[in-house]
Amino acid sequence: MTVLKINKLSFTYPEMVKPALKNIDLEIKEGDFVVLCGKSGCGKSTLLRHLKSVLTPHGIRTGEILFREKPLEEADLRTQSQEIGYVLQSPENQIVTDKVWHELAFGLESLGYDTPTIRLRVAEMASYFGIQGWFKRNVVELSGGQKQLLNLASIMAMHPSILILDEPTSQLDPIAASDFMETVKKINRDLGTTVIMTEHRLEDILPVADQVVVMDAGEIISRGTPREIGKELRSLGHDMFLSMPAPMQIFAGVESDLECPITVREGRKWMSELFRDNSRQKSMISLEKPKRELEEPVIELKDVWFRYDKNMPDVVKDLSLKVLKSQFYCLVGGNGTGKTTTLSLISGLNKPHRGKILINGRDVRKYSDRELFQGMLGVLPQNPQSLFVKKTVELDLYEMIGGTKEKKGSEYDDEIAKKTAVEKIVQLMHLEHLFDQHPYDLSGGEQQRLALAKILLLKPQILLLDEPTKGLDNHFKREFGEILRKLQEHGVTIIMVSHDIEFCALFGDVCGLFFDGNIVTSNSPRAFFSGNSFYTTAANRMSRHLFDNAITVKDVIRCCRMNH
């Protein structure tokens, strides 16, 4: 039975000429698992928001959406609230109460269920999702992964027939993201709930999809099973092929008559079959880059301790860290281990209660704000929206360099210099078509690009980046990585907190693993990821039984070609 049918849906945001959606036709059957993918700003989130009336954006719309063969608008608010569950990209944006058990009960209370039914469903959901251990805790004490799991459990307590998820793992570490995805698969498999989700991390979720829908510039350009989509995107030479799981990308780069693998397990079998007549292969990839121990560090942390309140436990514990000039240092680790707090200490936003933080050999507390943030430090926060203060993208960019009027003492002393700087950064970050839009109307990936553009306009010598690749498609991630490399060539030092292991492996100089408020190990990406079993790339997990030190898709393709 068809639960959702979209006929010729087109949509244009207010004051925009170009439509966000164009002639969308889509049919979703009961129990289907549908994955919606595409570049940042292609219209994925806009389409999902049309599937629930209270979330539908303002604008000009044509076409129709049928829910159980009737127009969606005819379904009242109660029916939609109960039948169509929606998990947002940011966990904090959806939580409305103070306690975990209050949050689980909130939706049911709003729908008017009696107390015995609420207690039964809350207990059932807490058991099903493994929430019993933190059932009575305050929501603010939860990690990002726990908050997102709580959102999912709160929605499932209402027994929806359709579950919509908009990039639900974008703010989760790889292990928490994998656990969350497993729970979504379990819901689809055990309860028969129809799942529709957008996601940039396709490694875990693509293999279980019944239907994959690829969007570009507001249109559906391809649909089919995961294997069909992989073949079609490869034959088209489309940028979205870079977002396909590592096994599919590696298969595409190596000549083979075998069937295309999708999962890491299938990839390992495919590689074993490919090299079944050979003994263990050699990757022929050097393990480490030359060390630069003798150089003076640009940033140095010495025995740093920090807590948010004197009665709370320490978040950062005895942390020592050195970052050299023009080095790209990646901090990885689980949610809530102290990575973001460390960035706030380096920027001077928070002060340690013990230890020293030196920037260019000088204590960070001795710098004035003007010295720190005009040309020295550029800080990209986890939430890019905290940087947006104007009504359009254009005004927001000019605001960063003193507005459209001349500001004496600024590096940009005249209007021509400002205009040139803005034009260059807009071209670099692909923001040309967004100039007149409100920053809050952009997609998650577009907001991230705008925030990066604002920070780079300041021409900082040290970049502190908190999850900069969140919401970015794989094609632009590569471009962004190359931008960072160019900045390094000009002497810029970069510290990045990230859950994006593949990006760190491809572009980082040093990776440090954060655990319980400290860095437990650090090394070059190749040495770092080769030594890990879980905290490593899909390409490494797929090839480690044959190749040593191969951590990226390019590494594995190179090794296969050299040995096959």
Domain range 297-545, CATH architecture? 3-Layer(aba) Sandwich (3.40)
The H or E element spanning position 359 is: strand 354-359
Other CB atoms within 10 A of residue 209 CB: 24
Evaluate whether 467 touches 492 at the Cβ level (below 8 Å): no
Q: What is the pTM of this model?
A: 0.79
Any idea where the domains of the chain sit in the sequence? Answer: 2-232, 297-545
Write down the CATH number for the domain with range 2-232.
3.40.50.300
% helix, strand, coil for the chain, step of 5? 40, 20, 40
Q: CA-CA distance, 389 to 440, in Å (whole number)? A: 10
pLDDT computed for residue 292 by the predictor: 54
Through-space distance between the first and last CA atoms of the chain, rounded to whole angstroms: 48
C-alpha 543/C-alpha 140 separation (Å) is 40
Per-residue pLDDT of the chain (564 residues; tens, 9 = 90+): 888 899 999 998 887 788 889 999 999 999 999 999 888 778 888 899 998 888 888 888 899 999 888 888 888 888 888 889 898 877 777 888 888 888 888 888 888 888 899 889 888 888 888 888 788 888 887 766 778 888 888 888 888 899 999 888 877 777 777 888 888 888 888 888 899 998 877 877 888 888 899 888 888 888 888 888 888 887 777 777 777 888 888 888 888 778 888 888 888 998 888 887 665 555 555 555 545 555 778 899 899 898 888 888 888 888 899 999 889 999 988 777 888 889 889 988 888 888 898 888 888 888 888 888 877 888 888 888 888 888 888 888 888 877 664 444 455 557 787 888 888 888 888 888 888 888 888 877 788 889 888 988 888 899 999 888 887 778 788 888 888 898 898 888 999 998 888 899 899 999 998 888 889 888 888 888 887 777 788 888 888 888 888 888 888 888 888 876
Alpha-carbon separation of residue 166 from 199, 219, 370, 468 (angstroms): 7, 18, 39, 18
Q: Which residues pair with 297 in a beta bridge?
A: 324
What is residue 287's predicted lDDT score, i.e. its pLDDT?
56
Residue 409: predicted pLDDT: 47
Tell me if 2-232 shares its fold with 297-545: yes
Environment class of residue 538 by beta-carbon count within 10 Å: exposed (0-12), middle (13-18) or buried (19+)?
Answer: buried
pLDDT of residue 172: 75
Cβ neighbours for 263, distance < 8 A, ≥ 6 positions apart: 207, 245, 247
Which pLDDT value is given to residue 422?
86
Q: Is 117 exposed, middle or buried (0-12, 13-18, 19+ CB in 10 A)?
A: exposed
What pLDDT does residue 495 have?
94
Distances (CA, A) of 549 to 290, 291, 328: 16, 18, 20
Predicted pLDDT of residue 288: 55
Residue 303 Cα distances to 300, 317, 320, angstroms: 10, 8, 5
